[in-house]
Structure 1
Amino acid sequence: MKNFFKKKNANPITVDIPIRPLTIAIDFDGTCVEHKYPDIGKEMPGASQTLRSLALREHRLILWTCREDFPDNPEAQYLSEAIQWFKEREIPLAGINKVPVEFDFRGEVGGRKPVFDMVIDDTNFGGFPGWPTIHYTLTGMPLI
């Protein structure tokens, strides 16, 4: 029986650098940091460097996370903690759990479905490739 799922010889990664700024949704737990929810886990290798590099290339980064703040519990400000993680690393966010109207082709009307060019998430089909691979794929340059 032939194994259709056997990994073939690895070919070099083809890099197709975006020619326009992308709107990119970024998951937090398991992607930017290790899974330690409700705590903030250790930063994933290359996460902040790659995210700053993408922002410098004018890509719009949207934090897209299940984290939320609980108004009745001042100690349970889980979304604010994630936002603070980005601020501490000087990574600008174009949006938090929503696509800003100016980036949404539907304008003020909006809709239920989020509109992104790309989603970076540890639960992607095929798994999370790691920040060095993401950096190389989107910039054509290795992560140093």
Structure 2
Amino acid sequence: MIIAVDFDGTLCMGTYPEIGSPKPYAVEVMNKLKADGHYLILWTCRRGERLEEAINWMLEQGIPFDRINAHEPANLALYGDDARKVYAHCYIDDKQVGGLPTWPEIYDWITEQERKWKEGQL
């Protein structure tokens, strides 16, 4: 699955532009998602120097990602357009309705959604 993940308040603690410590289990879950074969997109409003800080922080933490604010290449080829909203099967964001679940809950939800998707239930 393609998963778009917000940065501030989702992967890390702190309030923009500050970058705090990783959210509990964020590093472990992001690594499990990558190991499970998911395509991970960093999906953030950060730009320029602030984006570089976020990328460096993710590299220091060992958080994997495949793209930054950009579509997975097969989708670009398929649809031939680079819309502002990055396409993903799911989006992880602290601003989502109901707030951000814990990272272990996020992993369980994504695993269940992937199972349903593969079985054609979604």
Same fold, TM exceeding 0.5? yes
Residue type at the aligned position of 1:126? G
Q: What does 1:26-65 correspond to in 2, within 5 Å?
A: 26-65=5-44
Residue type at the aligned position of 1:42? S
More helix by share: 2
2:83 is aligned, of 92, 111, 127, to 111
Deviations 1:11-54 (A, max 9, x none): xxxxxxxxxxx110000000011133212112110000000000
Deviations 1:97-130 (A, max 9, x none): 1113224431x43334321100000011111111
Percent of pairs identical after alignment?
40
Q: What does 1:1-144 correspond to in 2, within 5 Å?
A: 22-69=1-48, 77-104=49-76, 105-106=78-79, 108-139=80-111
Q: Distance in 2 between matches of 1:103 and 1:92?
A: 20
- Superposition TM-score, scaled by structure 1 size: 0.69
Q: Distance in 2 between matches of 1:79 and 1:111?
A: 20
- Superposition TM-score, scaled by structure 2 size: 0.81
Residue type at the aligned position of 2:38? H
SS of the aligned residue for 1:109 comes to coil
Instruction: Give the count of matched residue pairs.
Output: 111
Task: Say if 2:69 and 2:86, in contact at 8 Å, map to a contact too.
Answer: no
Structure 2: which 5+ runs fail to align? 113-122
